[in-house]
Amino acid sequence: MSFPFQSAIFALDPERAHHLGLRALSAWGALGCPPARALPHLPIRVAGIDFAHPIGLAAGLDKDAIAIRGLFGLGFASVEVGTLTPKPQPGNPRPRLFRLTEDRAIINRMGFNNGGLEAGVARAAAAKRPAGGVLGINVGANKDATDRIADYVAGVRAAAPVADYVTINVSSPNTPGLRDLQQGAALAELLAACRAARGTTPLFLKVAPDLDHAMIDGVARAAIDAGVDAVVMGNTTISRPALESPDRDQVGGLSGAPLRLLARARLADLRRATGGVIPLIAAGGIDSGAEAYARIRAGASLVQVYSALIYEGPGLPRRIVADLGECLRRDGFGSVAEAVGAG
């Protein structure tokens, strides 16, 4: 499905197009955003937070929290900004973002490029949000950090007073060694330290879809033991299904439509491993109400969208919410919560 101006946007370098889009959303938000068209009210409560509906924006699009109001104006119930690191960092050398148009996918090796925790949190604190809009802040470690757990603790401590929830992101493949924090004693130490730093703000953990079954079991045990409030499954994948685009062999994390089956399967694995004790959030390859519904039935309480916006356009969040409502009514569910894990 194309949308107005898609061909003009796709004629631009992907990273330039990304920044122009963010600036447009920021300007739209500064103007106040037109009144939002009524959406189906599909409320769900997760980690003590009330969400107007389950559809949220994943971290990575608005790394520096510059377009929060405009992103809510697209119809998201929640917006997660970041990843923010304690110190500003430029990320990896360009080019580092590639459209795989034939596959409706993206490969990126951005490397947590952002302007730093202090500036990002200040913008998040100043941002105007619609009533009931849920703001998440995603935090990570600097590439050159000598103590990565200390970086996460700094991020959680700074973000917690501002955010409705804070996500600790150990799932990116583009910071060398970061994914090592997803397992064993390192994960347990990280979660304990971040839990102590978060105060009363809910703490979410974001993990990769490339985990094997044993690693998923370990994540589940560690998250339960640490009292994590929700787990996000997942991020981009370093695996490569069959792809058609000329850029299919670029190094980095793959997102978009080809990630769908892997992300859905790992979500089901994590639901099994946690036994439904911890709320799950699905990310990766979600581009329709039907797919959002499939993830909810597989165990997700919330779903997050990102790459599909590039191919489906800014009307996507509203379409997903409307179609999700139809799916729930068709199958006789009186609420989103009733459908979680039902499939």
Tens-digit pLDDT profile for residues 195-214: 999 999 999 999 999 999 99
In CATH terms, is domain 6-339 a member of 3.20.20.70?
yes
Burial class (CB within 10 angstroms; exposed 0-12, middle 13-18, buried 19+) of 26:
buried
Place of tokens 């009733």: 338
Residue 249 pLDDT: 95
pTM higher than 0.85: yes
Tens-digit pLDDT profile for residues 54-73: 999 999 999 999 999 999 99
Rounded CA-CA distance 113/159 in Å is 18
Residue 4 pLDDT: 58
Residue 37 pLDDT: 56
Residues annotated as part of the active site: 172
Residue 11 pLDDT: 75
Residue 202 pLDDT: 98
Q: Which parts of the chain register pLDDT below 50?
A: none
